[in-house]
Amino acid sequence: METDVSKKESFMQTPDVGGPPVGCVSTRSDGASHEVSRTRAEDAISVVTLGCPKNLVDSESILGRLHRAGYPVAAEPEDAALVVVNTCAFLTASQEESIETILEMAQLKQSGRLKKLVVTGCLAERHGNAVLDEIPEIDYLLGPATYDAVVHVADGLLQGSLERGSRVGELDREAFDWEPRVVSGHPHSAYVKISEGCNNTCTFCIIPKLRGKHRSRPIEDIVHEVTRLGQAGVREITIVAQDTTSYGLDLYGGFALPKLLRALDQVPGIDWIRLLYTYPRYWTDDLLQCLGELEHLIPYVDMPIQHASDTVLKRMRRGAGWQRTEELLGQIRGAREGMVLRTTVITGFPGETDQEFEELLGFLREFEFDNLGAFAYSTEDGTPAGAMEEQVPDEIREERRARVLEQQRGISLRRNRRLIDRTLPVLIDEVDPQDGAPKGRWTGQALEIDGQVLLKKTGLDVNMGDLIGVRIVGAGPYDLFGVPESEWAAAGREMEV
């Protein structure tokens, strides 16, 4: 389970005439390129994504399937004949954002060239045909376990052979391939989804109802996908799932994440392997050993603890007791020099007392996570926590969240300042087209989640996807400021921070 802030991102790549969209990676099992069987410029498609990186992988698969079927990609939803909105419904706020986005796309059916609107993802699964009833502009619903039917649906809607309808549920299906996919955004960094669904029973979380039980992808399938990504120029992969540490339990009868990581460590072209969404209960000694042994598994771990009070964790049904979690955090930090730890916490969970909140605040102050996200508890229908008595008032939830974030601001600033005068490996994510200033990340910063390393315009030929050494000359609570190591002697001391 995770609690990332929802985001909206449309696929903006414009394909070359007759060619794939930028970042398109062919992932057929035989390694051959897909032949586009038809080109229908009048039937261009666009995909709009809401939610977490796991949703982004789904959208990349949707786009890849449609492109392989011959649909060209519209640079803007306004120019598309068919738009797919991949929704999030984890929290009330994310549901509201999803509905707002659907309504924005629905307006294009009145004012633009848009012919058909398909809604997929968690909102479709959570509310089913009620969404169709409320928003008549929607032509079809697909749940997160049925979006592999998107080509059939697109063909039927645009050709007039398929009536308005839905296909949701089927959450007990075996996990299908997320390939082919179009890697959106940065061509040198990609998320890799290793499983679907979740078997944990956290009382605040509705994900198992929306995504089904945990289903792992076979190791060979994941290695194949990552190999193709490496061949396409991807240098960083970020491992995602609802719970990455439970990977393999269903397929192999045991915790197989270490075996997967060892296989991925051997894939040519991949420099960084980043691990997100680990669950405290399922860490093993073997996984800890991987942190110190594997060359490309970077010293960065994301592990949402959610709270630091045993009584709150029991009400959350988190499984691992606090003593074990605290010991594990120390083991992870000590597993490798320079380890960076990220977490998320929830404030204002039902029944949370002032003393329990102070326990959380005190531990966060003492342990000092490098990066942290804090979320005020959201009362969600359909979850055990939503029916609990002693719901904490909204204003107290938000006030406690603000206190956590304010404390963390000082902690992050202090920890970032320790990096000043060090040279760090930085992966360049973008170069400003106006002033030529590069922006990137070191291993301690996850893409679009943590901060960046900001550089002034450099005389070097620095391009997106380059991995360079950077001398850190300044630090804020979020971002770092640096100079390419090769220019440090001449320019570093003159940099204004």
Block residue for tokens 């082919």: 180
| 112 pLDDT more than 80 | no
Angle subtended by helix axes 322-334 and 285-293, to nearest 10: 20
Which run of H or E residues covers position 84? strand 82-87
pTM, entire model: 0.87
Token readout for 37 is: 């069987």
70: domain CATH number is 3.40.50.12160
pLDDT digits (tens, 9 = 90+) for 119-159: 998 888 888 888 888 888 999 988 888 888 888 999 899 88
Residue type, 274: R
**Domain count along the chain:** 3
C-alpha 105/C-alpha 114 separation (Å) is: 8
Are 119 and 95 a contacting pair, CB within 8 Å? no
C-alpha 159/C-alpha 457 separation (Å) is: 51
Claim to verify: residue 296 and residue 379 sit in the same structural domain: yes
Average pLDDT on 405-430 reads 96
Are 214 and 246 a contacting pair, CB within 8 Å? yes
Q: How many distinct helices (H) and strands (E) make up the chain?
A: 15, 21
Among 178-182, 279-283, 439-443, 488-492, top mean pLDDT goes to 439-443
Average pLDDT on 278-290 reads 93
Average pLDDT on 306-313 reads 95
Model confidence at 415, pLDDT cuts 50, 70, 90, reads very high
pLDDT digits (tens, 9 = 90+) for 18-45: 233 433 333 323 332 333 334 455 788 8
| 179 pLDDT more than 80 | no
Claim to verify: residue 330 and residue 460 sit in the same structural domain: no
Cα–Cα nearest to 81, from 66, 99, 96? 66
Domain-ending residue, one of 393, 415, 437: 415
Residue 2 falls inside a structural domain: no
Claim to verify: residue 277 and residue 136 sit in the same structural domain: no
Claim to verify: residue 269 and residue 389 sit in the same structural domain: yes
* 312 φ, ψ (degrees, to nearest 5): -65, -45
Claim to verify: residue 280 and residue 398 sit in the same structural domain: yes
Token readout for 169 is: 């549920």
What Å distances lie between residue 292 and 76, 331, 400, CA to CA?
45, 11, 36
Claim to verify: residue 329 and residue 402 sit in the same structural domain: yes
Residue 343 falls inside a structural domain: yes
pLDDT digits (tens, 9 = 90+) for 390-411: 999 999 999 999 999 999 999 9
**Lowest mean pLDDT, pick from 5-9, 214-218, 486-490:** 5-9
Among 316-330, 409-423, 431-445, top mean pLDDT goes to 409-423
What residue ranges in 225-306 does DSSP mark as E strands? 236-240, 272-275, 297-302
Residue 340 falls inside a structural domain: yes
261: domain CATH number is 3.80.30.20
Claim to verify: residue 162 and residue 17 sit in the same structural domain: yes
| 176 pLDDT more than 80 | no
Claim to verify: residue 200 and residue 157 sit in the same structural domain: no
Claim to verify: residue 335 and residue 483 sit in the same structural domain: no
pLDDT value of position 211: 84
* 222-258 b/e (C-beta count within 10 Å ≥ 16 → b): bebbbbbbbebebbbbbbbbbbbbbbbbbeeeebbbb
pLDDT value of position 303: 95
Token readout for 112 is: 């633009």
470: domain CATH number is 2.40.50.140
484/458: higher pLDDT: 484
Residue 75 falls inside a structural domain: yes
Torsion sign across C-alpha atoms 301, 307, 309, 314: negative
| Mean pLDDT (the chain, rounded) | 85
Average pLDDT on 251-265 reads 96
Claim to verify: residue 284 and residue 384 sit in the same structural domain: yes
Residue 104 falls inside a structural domain: yes
pLDDT value of position 45: 87
C-alpha 268/C-alpha 226 separation (Å) is: 9
Strand, helix or coil for residue 314: helix
pLDDT value of position 35: 34
Residue 277 falls inside a structural domain: yes
Sheet with strand 189-193: strands edge to edge: 189-193, 236-240, 272-275, 297-302, 340-347, 371-376
C-alpha 459/C-alpha 383 separation (Å) is: 55
Domain-ending residue, one of 124, 143, 167: 167
Residue 1 falls inside a structural domain: no
Sheet with strand 140-142: strands edge to edge: 8-10, 45-50, 82-87, 116-121, 140-142, 165-167
Domain-ending residue, one of 349, 383, 415: 415
**Residue 199, domain extent:** 181-415
Torsion sign across C-alpha atoms 66, 69, 73, 79: negative
* 291 φ, ψ (degrees, to nearest 5): -60, -35
Residue 172 falls inside a structural domain: no
What angle (nearest 5°) sits at the alpha carbon of residue 496, between those of residues 493 and 497? Answer: 110
**Local structure of residue 121 (DSSP, 8 states):** E
Claim to verify: residue 411 and residue 479 sit in the same structural domain: no
Claim to verify: residue 101 and residue 53 sit in the same structural domain: yes
